A and B are shown apart, each in its own frame.
Chain A
Amino acid sequence: DIQMTQSPSTLSASVGDRVTITCRASQSISSWLAWYQQKPGKAPKLLIYKVSNLESGVPSRFSGSGSGTEFTLTISSLQPDDFATYYCQQYSSPWTFGQGTKVEIK
């Protein structure tokens, strides 16, 4: 199975900060990577698909990049609504997720 490792596990930041979350795959996954945001008590929400494509309705401060085994999610200017947990996910059978990165208020 392909393992997905996110870093950091927790990130403390302030409103307006630029935030970067990294996701590494145990083997190449080409461009089959998505990012989700999850808030407490809620289902995950798709943010980015195929590495860098912004889901409809998602603010443009979110962006994704990478290829092969290393990928990043960047929030250009953190907003109060962005404090949440973020997961990367690769598309291969079996589907696997990163362990999550919690973005908390500094």
Chain B
Amino acid sequence: QAQLVQSEAEVKRPGASVKVSCKASGYTFTSYYLHWVRQAPGQGLEWMGMIHPSGGTTNYAQKFQGRVTLTRDTSTSTVYMELSSLRSEDTAVFYCARWLRIKNAFDIWGQGTMVTVSS
């Protein structure tokens, strides 16, 4: 069945960058947008941006413009989310999620990747 598997947890210093991967399987990778959502500890869900794996088209939330970069590797059916200039407030779980246009909803989610930013 369709699934998204994310990379393992990371610990980073303030000012560093982190790159989280999301590997898709069980469906045609290039047919669906993949989005990234951030969830700080004890907080709600925050949309970061999206990428279409076919052409690599991206759209970022204004809040993350200039700090986040989404890329994809069609040979491995993997999308990447890189967040730079990390600060302690970026400590969060990052999720990738597939957007299913016919339902206008995120129907499949990755398991989440915890990123801890600490000196």
B67 to chain A, nearest CB (A): 15
Given A43-B112, A96-B47, check contact A91 B105 (CB 8 Å). Answer: yes
B35 to A53, Cβ gap below 8 A?
no
A87 to chain B, nearest CB (A): 6
Q: Which of A54-106 contact B (CB under 8 A)?
A: 55, 87, 89, 91, 93-100
* Cβ 8 A contact of A43, one of B35, B61, B62, B95: B95
A44 to B103, Cβ gap below 8 A?
no
B114 to chain A, nearest CB (A): 10
B106 contacts across to A, CB distance below 8 A: 34, 36, 44, 46, 89
> Would you call the interface of chain B mostly helix, strand, loop, or mixed?
strand
B46 contacts across to A, CB distance below 8 A: 97
Interface size class of B (residues with CB under 8 A): 20 to 34
A97 to B111, Cβ gap below 8 A?
no
Answer whether residue B110 sits at the interface, using C-beta atoms and an 8 A cutoff: yes
B44 to A49, Cβ gap below 8 A?
no
Name the CB-closest residue of B to A99: B44
In the assembled complex, the Cα of A34 lies from the Cα of B59 at a distance in Å of 21
| B binding-site residues for A, Cβ under 8 Å | 35, 37, 44-47, 59, 61-62, 95, 97, 103-107, 109-112
Starting from the known contacts A46-B105, A46-B107, 17 additional A-B residue pairs (CB-CB under 8 Å) come to A34-B104, A34-B105, A36-B45, A36-B106, A43-B109, A43-B110, A44-B97, A49-B103, A50-B104, A50-B105, A55-B107, A91-B104, A95-B35, A95-B47, A97-B37, A97-B44, A100-B45
**24 A–B contacts from the bound complex (CB under 8 Å):** A34-B103, A34-B104, A34-B105, A36-B106, A43-B112, A44-B97, A44-B109, A45-B109, A46-B105, A49-B103, A49-B105, A50-B104, A53-B103, A55-B103, A87-B44, A87-B45, A89-B106, A91-B105, A94-B61, A95-B35, A97-B37, A97-B44, A97-B45, A100-B45
